[in-house]
Chain A
Amino acid sequence: MNTILNEKKEFPMLEAVNLTKKYEDGLLALDDVNFKVHQGEIYAMLGGNGAGKTTTINIFLNLIEPTSGETKINGIVTHQQPLEAKKHVSFVSENVMLYPEFTALQNLDFFTRLGGKTNLTKDDYRQVLLRVGLQEDAHSKKLKGFSKGMRQKCGIAIAILKNSPTILLDEPTSGLDPKAGLEFMTLLDELRDEGKSILMSTHDIFRAKEIANTIGIMNNGKLVMQRSKAELENADLEKLYVEYMAGYMEEVA
Chain B
Amino acid sequence: MLSLLIKKELKEIIGSSKFVYSFAVSALLILITFYVGAKNYQINKSQYDAAVAENIRSMSGVTDWRMINHKIFLPPLPLASLVSGISNDVGRNIGMQGRGELIAKDSKYNEEPIFAVFRFLDLNFLFQIILSLFAILFCYNAVNGEKERGTLRLVFSNAIPRDTFILGKVLGSTIALILPLLVPMLIGFLLLLVLGVPMSFEDWMKLFLIIVTGFLLFSVFINLSVFVSIITKNSATSFLLLLVTWIFFVLVIPKTSVLIAGRAVNVPLIDELNTKKNQFSMQLNREHFNSLSGFKPANKDNFMQEFQQFMEKNNQAREEKTKSFNEKLNRERINRQEVQHAVALNLARISPSASFSLAASSFAGTSLNLVSNYREQADNYQKQFAKFQQEKTGMTSGGGGMMFVIRTDGDKKPPEINPAELPKFEFKPASFSASLGSGLIDIGLLFVFNIIFFAAAYLRFLKFDLR
**Measuring CB to CB, which residues of chain A are less than 8 angstroms from any residue of chain B?**
58, 61-64, 82-84, 86-87, 89-91, 93, 95-102, 106, 110-111, 113-116, 155, 158, 162, 168
Instruction: Determine if A89 and B151 form an interchain contact, defined as CB atoms under 8 angstroms apart.
Output: no
Instruction: Determine if B154 and A63 form an interchain contact, defined as CB atoms under 8 angstroms apart.
Output: no
Instruction: Determine if B151 and A99 form an interchain contact, defined as CB atoms under 8 angstroms apart.
Output: yes
| Chain A residue at smallest Cβ distance from B160 | A114
**Measuring CB to CB, which residues of chain B are less than 8 angstroms from any residue of chain A?**
1, 4, 8, 11-12, 15-16, 149-151, 153-161, 466-467
Tell me the minimal C-beta distance from B1 to chain A in angstroms.
8
Contacts A63-B466, A106-B11, A114-B4: A86 and B151 contacting too (C-beta < 8 A)? no
**Given A61-B153, A91-B154, 9 new contacts (CB under 8 A):** A62-B156, A84-B159, A86-B158, A91-B157, A97-B153, A111-B155, A155-B154, A158-B154, A162-B158
Chain A residues positioned under 8 Å from B16 (CB to CB): 101
Tell me the minimal C-beta distance from A187 to chain B in angstroms.
19
Partner of B151, one of A63, A98, A106: A98
CA distance A100 to B16 in the complex (A): 9
CA distance A113 to B155 in the complex (A): 11
Chain B residues positioned under 8 Å from A102 (CB to CB): 11-12, 15
Contacts A98-B151, A113-B4, A114-B4: A64 and B158 contacting too (C-beta < 8 A)? no
| Chain A residue at smallest Cβ distance from B13 | A101
Instruction: Determine if B159 and A116 form an interchain contact, defined as CB atoms under 8 angstroms apart.
Output: yes
CA distance A13 to B221 in the complex (A): 46
Chain A residues positioned under 8 Å from B12 (CB to CB): 99, 101-102
Instruction: Determine if A83 and B8 form an interchain contact, defined as CB atoms under 8 angstroms apart.
Output: no
Tell me the minimal C-beta distance from B301 to chain A in angstroms.
106
| Chain A residue at smallest Cβ distance from B466 | A63
| Chain B residue at smallest Cβ distance from A151 | B150
Instruction: Determine if B159 and A86 form an interchain contact, defined as CB atoms under 8 angstroms apart.
Output: yes
CA distance A119 to B96 in the complex (A): 78
Chain B residues positioned under 8 Å from A82 (CB to CB): 159
CA distance A116 to B160 in the complex (A): 10
CA distance A96 to B157 in the complex (A): 12
CA distance A20 to B458 in the complex (A): 30
| Chain B residue at smallest Cβ distance from A91 | B157
| Chain A residue at smallest Cβ distance from B8 | A110
CA distance A63 to B147 in the complex (A): 12
| Chain B residue at smallest Cβ distance from A170 | B153
CA distance A155 to B1 in the complex (A): 20
Instruction: Determine if A97 and B150 form an interchain contact, defined as CB atoms under 8 angstroms apart.
Output: yes
Chain B residues positioned under 8 Å from A62 (CB to CB): 156
CA distance A116 to B16 in the complex (A): 26
Chain B residues positioned under 8 Å from A99 (CB to CB): 8, 12, 149, 151
Tell me the minimal C-beta distance from B164 to chain A in angstroms.
10
Partner of B149, one of A89, A97, A111, A116: A97
Residue among B8, B16, B158, B160 with the highest chain A CB neighbour number at 10 A: B158
CA distance A136 to B192 in the complex (A): 51
Chain A residues positioned under 8 Å from B161 (CB to CB): 83
| Chain B residue at smallest Cβ distance from A81 | B159
Tell me the minimal C-beta distance from B150 to chain A in angstroms.
3
Instruction: Determine if A98 and B159 form an interchain contact, defined as CB atoms under 8 angstroms apart.
Output: no
Instruction: Determine if B154 and A97 form an interchain contact, defined as CB atoms under 8 angstroms apart.
Output: yes
Instruction: Determine if B150 and A114 form an interchain contact, defined as CB atoms under 8 angstroms apart.
Output: no
Partner of B158, one of A95, A97, A98, A114: A114
Instruction: Determine if B153 and A93 form an interchain contact, defined as CB atoms under 8 angstroms apart.
Output: yes
| Chain A residue at smallest Cβ distance from B18 | A101
Residue among B153, B154, B466 with the highest chain A CB neighbour number at 10 A: B154
| Chain A residue at smallest Cβ distance from B155 | A114
